[in-house]
Chains A and B, each alone.
Chain A
């Protein structure tokens, strides 16, 4: 490399020496000669001398770029100009194609690939394997493949290899599995034992191992419809296959008599038979609470749900139901064997049990105010008669939804929080109100 540079300088010197007398004798031909000799001589060294400092700005963008100093034009601008109309996969591919076809040498392709990687999320193509393959295709083939053992021993073309690794790393971060085309391209560009190939092999080893690990899988594409989304999330959190989803209200937009638009929120609830059984056993003198909203994350979307629950029953009210011997006549449901248990047979953890009170039902709605949740409770009442006699309390946090401010009347559930800075940053208002549901509404 160094000797090549020396030769280059020599050439220039010779050129300068030769052209100096020419200037004296033939000033008119000087510029032509210089241009001519430069373009001829320097071509031998794989550097194009015609624009040593300019980026290869394609012809399509040349008009817009004339005023700017071309040496400072970056590849980000290329994408900005290419995406004047719309940022889509088509325009992204077009920009890549324009760069590939702009010159045979593809000077600055490493910078171009870095810029493209950065711009990918903007164009919405960060999860597209074909686009990554197309970007890899920008690398010139077979130049970076080491040819002898010394090149193989040292890091051959480190910047290019690093760029390739970073491309693969971005694929890894977005969870995209490389395919056989990626491998073929990488082998063509960097050779069989290069760093990008190593990275590819690592990904191909670990990705399939961890691919289907999640015991609670979330679909890649979440449903658009809020009711479907609510149904999906409720069945996920219910952890009971018998649980039944009920849609209490479908979302719709109405225009009232006065002309204003009324949007009715969706109300979707879930309740399992065991929850209904628990609710039927609830002591009617003790209140049940509607609490929420609680967040639930499905990949990158956050939804919120509300629960109907009760405080744990006091110790004196707790009673174990004796087994009904008629429930199963074939074999006894309860065995009273006095077996000597060894210490080694103890399989349970020595922890105090948490008693947080039962959960009776869950629901999701787009509008978490009390009126909407009331709709849910009255819907639940059809299948659970006891809710007509139980006082219902609403403990709603000011969550993502806008809530009307209601005066709080009791200091219930206001725990002393040592972290005041958290409180200050995220004001959490606990709205708590005894529901004054009249008897008339219940009957």
Chain B
């Protein structure tokens, strides 16, 4: 008689341990702030994880105080938007807007500047890399650090992994409309960074029309020198090439600068160990010496069909 009891107990304990394990796992995944994604663009579901059995309306938080906060936030934004127009385009006087030669888009001068960013690593897909974002030594730079690990998750499907990413959040206007950056009067991306010798990748996501283009990203490389000195990097936008989910596309297209959504930095150099990247500011500027429109051939597909 006691035997089944014991087995029952152990199985219960086993279950509870699994459950606890899950609970331990879940916050670590959830604490990585994921940018707001659309319904179609759900979170990456790892192989083997069951589908979430919930209706879409069950995920919505119908809270009264949250609603009040939302109303306050959105109407403040709307008011700001409305009165900005009186000053000039994008809240700047017209003369300044026309004659602008360079613009600082993101600078890291305080803890609130980190709120517009989100970090993620291959932990989302079951890997072991870690990435953290914090302010630098004097609270006026942003330090992205962590450990890189290219051990693939043991799910039988994933063949390789190992990436760490920092990406800016989609900026939103009132009532959660998308707000885009208009950089069409500039032609160069200007970064002031200090790395540790690892090569990074700069990703720019532009607004697209069709939903199958939502993962289209324009990328280029960012090589860091390492050492105690800051490094001013100028990357012309013409050099950015089109990628989709990590693959270079055959038919390339120049980056259209009128609707830029996000910018991101990715590390995936397969060298296991700690890494760090310190960013002072990210800006755009107009380089008169640079006249190239697109650095890659447009007159044929590569390879040809």
In the complex, the answer to whether B280 meets A343 with C-beta atoms within 8 Å is no
Distance between B27 CB and nearest chain A CB, rounded to angstroms: 11
**13 chain-A/chain-B pairs, Cβ below 8 angstroms:** A213-B221, A236-B227, A237-B229, A238-B227, A295-B274, A297-B198, A342-B99, A344-B99, A349-B102, A350-B104, A352-B109, A362-B227, A419-B134
Distance to closest chain A CB from B162 (angstroms): 11
Interfacial residues, chain B to chain A (CB-CB below 8 A): 95-96, 99-102, 104, 107, 109, 130, 132, 134, 137-138, 140-141, 160, 190, 192, 196-199, 221, 223-230, 248, 250, 270-271, 273-276, 280-281, 283, 285, 296, 302-304
CB of A213 within 8 A of CB of B281, answer no
Question: B197 near A354 (CB under 8 angstroms)?
Answer: no
Whether A237 contacts B140 by the Cβ 8 Å rule is no
CA gap between A352 and B283 in the complex, in Å = 13
Tell me the smallest distance from the CB of A298 to a CB of chain B, in Å. Answer: 6
A216 contacts B280, C-beta separation under 8 Å = no
The distance in angstroms between the C-alpha atoms of A345 and B286, with both chains bound, is 11
Interface residues of A in 272-328 (CB under 8 A from B): 294-300, 302, 305, 307, 309
Q: Which of B137, B196, B225 contacts A295 (CB 8 A)?
A: B196
Number of A interface residues in the complex (CB < 8 A): 51
Q: Is the CB of B228 within 8 A of A359?
A: yes
A418 touches B134 (CB 8 A): yes
What is the CA–CA distance of A350 and B105 in the complex, to the nearest angstrom?
A: 10
Select from chain B the residue with minimum beta-carbon distance to A213.
B221
Inter-chain pairs besides A297-B197, A299-B271, 18 sampled, C-beta below 8 Å: A214-B223, A216-B223, A216-B224, A216-B226, A218-B197, A237-B225, A237-B228, A237-B229, A305-B227, A342-B99, A347-B285, A349-B283, A349-B285, A351-B280, A354-B230, A362-B227, A362-B228, A422-B132
**Which stretch (A59-67, A146-154, A200-208, A260-268) binds chain B?**
A200-208
Residues in B neighbouring A415, C-beta threshold 8 A: 137
Is B303 touching A202 in the complex (CB atoms < 8 A)?
A: yes
Name the residue of chain A whose CB is nearest to the CB of B280: A354
Q: Which residues of B contact A201 (CB under 8 A)?
A: 302-304
- Residues of chain B contacted by A173 (CB below 8 angstroms): 160, 270
* A354 B140 Cβ-Cβ under 8 A: yes
Residues in A with CB closer than 8 Å to B228 are 237, 294, 307, 309, 359, 362
For B304, what are the chain A residues with a Cβ–Cβ distance below 8 Å?
201
Alpha-carbon gap, A202 to B303, bound state (A):
6
Q: List chain A residues, Cβ under 8 A from B138.
A: 354, 356
**Could you tell me the distance between the alpha carbons of A413 and B229 in the complex, rounded to whole angstroms?**
20
**Most interface-central of B100, B273, B281, B303 (chain A CB within 10 A):** B303
